Amino acid sequence: RPQPPALRLPVQFIAIALAIYQVSLDFPLISLILLLIVGVGFVNAFNFMDGINGITGMYSIVIVGFLLFFNIYEATFVNVDLLYYLLFSLIVFGFYNFRKKALFFSGDVGSISIAVVLFFLVYQFYLTLKAPVAILLVAVYGVDTVLTIIRRIKMKEKISEAHRHHLYQLFVDSKRFSHITTSLMYSVIQLLCCIIVYYSFQLGLWEQLLIVTLVLLSITFCYVFFVRYFLKMRLKAS
């Protein structure tokens, strides 16, 4: 049954706090508090993005598959069994979800659970390798969510209310792209981000920060371009 935010948020804060505790608490208190807030924000952002068939499963398979490959062939940063079991679970889920008429969905429980584990993995990856490019492992969902929130604030909408303003929703609502096609596009772009991480994680700090900035700006440009394109389509249709 759906639970009110007053109950959901404390549990999410506890879950992220436990993930941070398991990885590392070796930071100033203010940094840990900010990381906790970012983690809970990421969990909810990931949940917001779970709105069409295939998107959460495909997106997660790309990230976990990349981390498994990296963990085996490049540098061990986490127990490989966690990645194997998580990837296998996502593939089983995908068998029932990656289709025009999905047989079941992840729901809030599934998407939030996956988000907590991904937060743990990305944080572990960053700390083990000291690589700021780790943020690119969730770049596509991150940009879509942040920019959509900004748009909704400008439109003076309540962020907590349901909406159809995410870019992936505009792709589907345009009637030109199916759920699976849109999910594949998001997953392929995220895979490209993962490849960039693979070839840049050993670079210097400033080089990595430059790469992160350029990639995020590129995704932002694509977001703005397509949002304007689809909004113009709506105006012409009306």
Instruction: Give the per-residue pLDDT at 90.
Output: 95
User: Cβ distance 112 to 40 under 8 Å?
Assistant: no
Q: What is the mean pLDDT of residues 97-117?
A: 88
Instruction: Give the per-residue pLDDT at 236.
Output: 77
DSSP string computed for 49-98: T--STTHHHHHHHHHHHHHHHHHHHT---S-HHHHHHHHHHHHHHHHHHS
CB atoms within 10 A of CB 39: 23
pTM, rounded to two decimals: 0.92
pLDDT tens across 63-105, in order?
999 999 999 999 999 999 999 999 999 999 999 988 888 888 8
pLDDT tens across 193-225, in order?
999 999 999 999 999 999 999 999 999 999 999
The domain segmentation of the chain, as residue ranges, is 5-237
In the DSSP assignment, the letter for residue 132 is G
Helix axes 29-48, 139-154, angle to 10 degrees: 80
Instruction: Give the per-residue pLDDT at 160.
Output: 67
